[in-house]
Structure 1
Amino acid sequence: MKTVLSINSSILGDNSQSRQLSNQLLERIKTAHPSVKIIERDLAKDSLPHLNGEQFSAFITPPEQRTAEQKVLAAQSDDLVQEISDADTVVLALPMYNFGIPSQLKSYFDNLARAGMTFKYTAAGPVGLLTGKKAIVLATRGGFYFGTDKDTQTKYVKDFLGFIGITDVEFIYAEGLAVSPEQKAKSLAGASEIITAISI
Structure 2
Amino acid sequence: MNILQINSSARSTGSESTRLADALVAKLSATAANVSVTRRDLAAQPHPVLDEAALQALFTPAEQRNAEQAARVALDDALIAQVQAADVIVIGSPMYNFGITVQLKSWFDAIARAGVTFKYTATGPVGLLTGKKVYVAVARGGMHRGAPSDTQLPHLKTFLAFLGLTDVQFVYAEGMGLGPDAVAKAQAQADAEINAVLV
Same fold (TM over 0.5): yes
Contact conserved, 1:139 with 1:171, CA < 8 A, in 2?
yes
1:119-143 superposed Cα distances (whole Å, 9 cap, x missing partner): 1111111111111111100000010
Q: Is 1:127 aligned to residue 126 of structure 2?
A: yes
| TM score, norm. by length of structure 2 | 0.96
Contact conserved, 1:101 with 1:153, CA < 8 A, in 2?
yes
Contact conserved, 1:59 with 1:114, CA < 8 A, in 2?
no
For 1:197, the equivalent position in structure 2 comes to 196
For 1:97, the equivalent position in structure 2 comes to 96
For 1:142, the equivalent position in structure 2 comes to 141
Instruction: Return the letter of the residue paired with 2:192.
Output: E
Shift of 1:60: 2.6
For 1:157, the equivalent position in structure 2 comes to 156
For 1:184, the equivalent position in structure 2 comes to 183
Cα distance in 1 for residues equivalent to 2:128 and 2:89? 15
Q: In structure 1, list runs of 5 or more residues that go unmatched.
A: none
For 1:114, the equivalent position in structure 2 comes to 113
Contact conserved, 1:90 with 1:136, CA < 8 A, in 2?
yes
Cα distance in 2 for residues equivalent to 1:55 and 1:112? 13
RMSD after superposition: 1.2
Cα distance in 1 for residues equivalent to 2:7 and 2:91? 6
Instruction: Return the letter of the residue paired with 1:19.
Output: T
Q: Is 1:170 aligned to residue 169 of structure 2?
A: yes
The aligned length equals: 199
Cα distance in 2 for residues equivalent to 1:57 and 1:170? 36
1:13-71 superposed Cα distances (whole Å, 9 cap, x missing partner): 23111111111111111110142100000001110111111211222333233333321
Contact conserved, 2:127 with 2:164, CA < 8 A, in 1?
yes
Contact conserved, 1:14 with 1:20, CA < 8 A, in 2?
no
Cα distance in 1 for residues equivalent to 2:136 and 2:108? 15
For 1:56, the equivalent position in structure 2 comes to 55
Q: The residue matched to 1:143 in structure 2 has which SS?
A: coil
Q: Is 1:47 aligned to residue 46 of structure 2?
A: yes
Shift of 1:169: 0.9
Contact conserved, 1:142 with 1:175, CA < 8 A, in 2?
yes
For 2:35, the equivalent position in structure 1 comes to 36
Cα distance in 1 for residues equivalent to 2:158 and 2:138? 16
Structure 1 residue ranges (4+ consecutive) displaced by more than 2 angstroms after TM superposition: 60-69
| TM score, norm. by length of structure 1 | 0.95
> 137-146 vs 47-56, which deviates more?
47-56
For 1:3, the equivalent position in structure 2 comes to 2
Cα distance in 1 for residues equivalent to 2:41 and 2:198? 25
Instruction: Return the letter of the residue paired with 1:118.
Output: T
Shift of 1:179: 1.1
Q: The residue matched to 1:182 in structure 2 has which SS?
A: helix
Shift of 1:83: 0.5
Equivalent pairs: percent with the same residue?
46
Shift of 1:100: 1.0
Instruction: Return the letter of the residue paired with 2:165.
Output: I
Cα distance in 2 for residues equivalent to 1:21 and 1:169? 15
Q: How does 1:16-31 map to 2 (within 5 A)?
A: 16-31=15-30
For 1:65, the equivalent position in structure 2 comes to 64
